Structure 1
Amino acid sequence: MQLSAHPGMVRLRAALPVAGEIVYAIGSLWISATMLRNWPDPNGYWRDTDAWAYALLAAVYLPLVLRRRFPVAVLVSTALCVACYFTLGYYHVVAVCGLALALYTVASLRDRRVSARCAVGALLVLLWGTRLAEPGIGPLSVGFVTVTTIVCWVTGDGSRRLRELTRQLRREQEEKARRAVMEERIQIARELHDVIAHHVSVISVQTGLAGYVFSSDPPTARRALDTIGDSAHEALSEMRRMLVVLRDDERGPAERETPGDSGLGRLDELVKRVAEAGVPVDVSVTGRAYALPPGIDLCAYRVVQEALTNVIKHAPAARTTVRVHYGEDEVCIRVKDDGSGPARARKGMGLSAAAPGGAGQGLIGMRERATIYHGTVTAAPVPEGGFEVSLRVPVPRAATEARAPRK
C-alpha cells in the first residue's frame, strides 16, 4: 500500500484544513487583541478597552473556523458583532479583517446574487466604522473600506468561477475520455468482426464440404481440410497483428497498419481463399494503380473482405466480380454477385443491407469505416438479380501525386 493511500494519511489530509482554520482564527484573535491592548490613544479617540471589547473580538474571529461550512451564517454573525463593536466605539481597525475574510468566503462559495447582497451589507457595516477614524482621514478611511470590500468580493467571486471552470473542464475531459474509450471499443469490435467473420465463414463452408465428401471423394476432403487450416492460421496471424497494435501505444495511427499487413496488396490471397470456399471471383483493376494511404488501403480491403464474406454466407453458389478503379483523386470498388443461392438468404441480406438501421453488423462496419475517410458505401440488390456493394473513398492529393506503383 502506498503511503499516500494509508488510512492514517487520508485522515491527516482531511484534518489539515480544519486545523488550519483553527490556527488562523486563534492567531487572528491573538494579534487583534494584542493590537487593541497596545495601540496608543493619547487623544482619547476610542473607548477604553474592557472585557466587552475582547468578547466581541472573540465573537468576530472564532466563528471563522466554520466559515466554509456555513459561509452566509458566519458572515451575518461577524457583521453583527463588528457593528456592535463599532457602535460601542472601540478601536475599529482590528475588527476589519474578520469581516473581510467572511465576505471573501461567501463570494467564493455562493452565487453572485447572494454574495452581492452580503457585500452591500458588509460595506455598510464598515462605513459605519469610519466615523471612528482619526480627524482628517475620514474620506481616506471611506475609500479604504470601499476598495477593501470590492477587492474581497471580486477575488472571492473569481475564485468561485475558477473552480466552476475547473469542474467543467474536468467533466469535459472525462466525457472526452469516455467517448475515446467507446470509439476504441467500436473499432476493436469492428476489427474482430472483419477478421473472424470472414475466416469462420470459410471454415464453416469447407467443414460442410469435407464432411459431405469425406468418404466418396477423399482428395476433395483433403483440400477442404487444407483450406480450413490455412484460414485458421490466417485468422490467428491477423489476431496477433491486432494485439500488437493494441499493445503499442507509441506508434501513430498512420503507422499501425502498412499496406503489406492488410490492404489491397493481399487481394489475390483473399480471392483465392474465397474461391477455395466454392465462390468463384473475377477481379479487374482499372486506372493506374498507386499506393494508397494505409488507413484507406485497409478500409478498402476490409470492405471487399466483408462483401465476399456475405456472398459466402448468403449466396455460396453465386459468381462474383470485384472491380477496383484508381481515379485521379479517389478509389472506387464494386463487389457484385449474380444472385445465385437460396432465395430466403438473399432476401434477408438485401433487407439488412438496404436499411440504414439494419441488423447486419458487417454492413454497419463498412459504413463506419468509409465515414472515417469521408467515403460512402452503398449495399443493395440490383434489378437484374444479385447484390452489389460499392465503396467510393477520396484519396488525398499528396497520395495521388506520388503515384508510387503498387507491388
Structure 2
Amino acid sequence: MLPVVGEIVWAVGSLWMSSTLLHNWPDPEGYWRETDALAYALIAAVYLPLVLRRRHPLAVMVSTGLWVGTYFTLGYYHVVAVCGMFTALYTVASLRPRRLSLRCAAATLAVLLWGTRLAEPGGGAISAAFVTVATVVCWVAGDGSRRLRDLTRRLRLEQEEKARRAVMEERIQIARELHDVIAHHVSVISVQTGLASYVFSSDPPTARRALGTVGDSAREALAEMRRMLVVLREEGPDSDPEGTRGEVQGLGRLDELVKRVGAAGVPVDVRVTGAAYELPPGIDLCAYRVVQEALTNVIKHAPQAPTTVRVHYGADEVRVRVKDAGSGRTPAPAPAGPGRRTGQGLIGMRERATIYHGTVTAAAAPEGGFEVSLRVPVPRPGGDDADDVRTRRR
C-alpha cells in the first residue's frame, strides 16, 4: 500500500510543481507558445501515468516520450516536461535489462535534444550539454539500482542455499552419530542378552555378568547420546552443566571400547605404534568411530573371531587398521529395486574420513577375514615417528 501511495504522491506532486512553474514563468520576449489548456493537458498526460511506472515501466516510458515530444513540437515552455522524461528513464534502467534501458536512454536523449531548440537565444549549447549529462546520470543511477537489487537477490538466494545445505549437513551428521552410537551398543546388548537367555538356568553367574554388560552398554549409549546432543547444539558452556563436552570419544578411550567388545565375546588385540601425540578433536573422533564401527561389524558378522586393532602415529598422519580372523566375508549385496539401501556404517566411515581428507578401505583380506583401514593426514608443525611399541591384549 505504501509504495502505491508514494507513486501517487510523486506523480501528483510533479504535476502540481510543473503546472505552477508553467503558469508563473515569465515570457516577455515571447520565446514559447502561449500557455493554454492543451499545454496543461499535455503536462498531465506526461506526469499522471508515472503512477504506473513500476508496474509497466516500458509502456510508461513510451507514453511519456510521445507526450513530451508532442509538447516540445508544439513549442510550449520546455523545461517543465524534462523531469517526467528523466523519471521514466530512471525507472526503466532500474527495472529492465541493460540492453533495453540503453535504447531507452538514447531515445530519451533524442527527445530532450529536440526540446533544446526552444532554449533562450545563446543557451542552446548549455541546454544540450545539460540534458546529455542528466540523461547519462539518470541511466547510470537506475542501472546501478538494478545491479544492486540483483546482487541483493543473489546474496539472499545464496544465503538460503547455504542454510539448506547447513540443515542437510546437520541431518547427515545427526544420522551418522546416531548410527555410530546406537549400532555398536545395540549389537553388544543383543549378543549379551542372547547369552544371558541361553545360560540363565545352567550358568547363573555368566548370565549375571552378561546382564551387567547389557546395563553398562545401555548406560554408555545414553551417555554418548547426551554428549552427542550437546556437541550438535553447539551452544555456550552453560549448556553443558555436567561437563560432558570434554568427554567426547577419541582413541584415548580405546581401552573402554575394547573391553566392551571383549565382553561381547570378541577377543581383541590392540597395538599402538609410533610416538602417540594429541590429535585434533575431529580426527580423534573420526578414528575412534571407524574402530567402533569396524568392531561392531565383527560382532554382527564374525562373532568370537579374533580381531586385531592397529593404530600408527606417523609424523604427519594417523593410520588405523581393524582386521578380524573370520572365514572371510564381503558386504551383503544391496537388494534390487527402487527401495535398495546401502550399509550406513561404511558410508558413515567414508564420509567422516573425507571431511578430514582421509581415506577408508574395507574389503576381505587375502589371507581370510575382513579388514578396515583408515588413513588421515594430521596437520602438525613437527612430528616424531619413533618406533616405540605398546601392546595391550584384551
Calculate the TM-score normalised by the size of structure 1.
0.89
1:320 to 281, 292, 307: 307
The answer to whether the Cα contact below 8 Å between 2:307 and 2:325 also exists between their aligned partners in 1 is yes
The answer to whether the Cα contact below 8 Å between 1:263 and 1:301 also exists between their aligned partners in 2 is yes
2:208 is matched with 222
Task: Indicate the larger mover: 114-123 or 301-310.
Answer: 114-123
1:5 is matched with none
1:160 to 146, 171, 175: 146
Residues 330 and 348 of structure 1: is their aligned pair in 2 closer, same or farther, counting only changes over 3 Å?
A: closer
2:358 is matched with 375
SS of aligned partner of 1:279? coil
1:331 to 294, 311, 318: 318
Aligned ranges for residues 189-208 of structure 1 at < 5 Å? Answer: 189-208=175-194
The answer to whether the Cα contact below 8 Å between 1:257 and 1:298 also exists between their aligned partners in 2 is no
User: How many Å separate the matches in 2 of 1:155 and 1:323?
Assistant: 68
1:295 aligned partner, one-letter code: G
Q: CA deviation at 1:399?
A: 7.2
| 1:164-218 Cα deviation digits (max 9, x unpaired) | 1111111111111111111111111111110000000000111111111111111
Aligned ranges for residues 2-81 of structure 1 at < 5 Å? Answer: 15-81=1-67
Task: Work out which structure has the larger RCO, using CA pairs closer than 8 Å and 6 or more positions apart in sequence.
Answer: 2
2:290 to 303, 306, 313: 303
Residues 358 and 25 of structure 1: is their aligned pair in 2 closer, same or farther, counting only changes over 3 Å?
A: closer
Task: Indicate the larger mover: 175-184 or 267-276.
Answer: 175-184
SS of aligned partner of 2:43? helix
Higher normalized helix content (fraction of residues): 1
Q: CA deviation at 1:269?
A: 0.7
1:395 is matched with 378
User: How many Å separate the matches in 2 of 1:329 and 1:248?
Assistant: 29
User: How many Å separate the matches in 2 of 1:283 and 1:347?
Assistant: 23
1:378 aligned partner, one-letter code: T
1:102 is matched with 88
The reply to whether residue 270 of structure 1 matches residue 253 of structure 2 is no
Residues 87 and 122 of structure 1: is their aligned pair in 2 closer, same or farther, counting only changes over 3 Å?
A: same
User: How many Å separate the matches in 2 of 1:139 and 1:48?
Assistant: 24
Aligned residues: 378
SS of aligned partner of 2:174? helix
2:76 is matched with 90
Q: CA deviation at 1:364?
A: 0.9
Q: CA deviation at 1:261?
A: 2.8
Q: CA deviation at 1:400?
A: 3.9
The answer to whether the Cα contact below 8 Å between 1:257 and 1:294 also exists between their aligned partners in 2 is no
The reply to whether residue 241 of structure 1 matches residue 227 of structure 2 is yes
1:209 is matched with 195
SS of aligned partner of 2:137? helix
2:301 aligned partner, one-letter code: H
The reply to whether residue 283 of structure 1 matches residue 270 of structure 2 is yes
2:240 is matched with none
SS of aligned partner of 1:40? coil
User: How many Å separate the matches in 1 of 2:150 and 2:278?
Assistant: 50
User: How many Å separate the matches in 2 of 1:30 and 1:56?
Assistant: 13
User: How many Å separate the matches in 2 of 1:326 and 1:30?
Assistant: 84
Calculate the TM-score normalised by the size of structure 2.
0.91
Gaps of 5+ in 1: 1-14
Q: CA deviation at 1:140?
A: 1.0
Q: Taking every aligned residue pair, what percent have the same amino acid on both sides?
A: 78
Q: Aligned-pair RMSD on alpha carbons?
A: 2.2
Q: CA deviation at 1:317?
A: 2.4
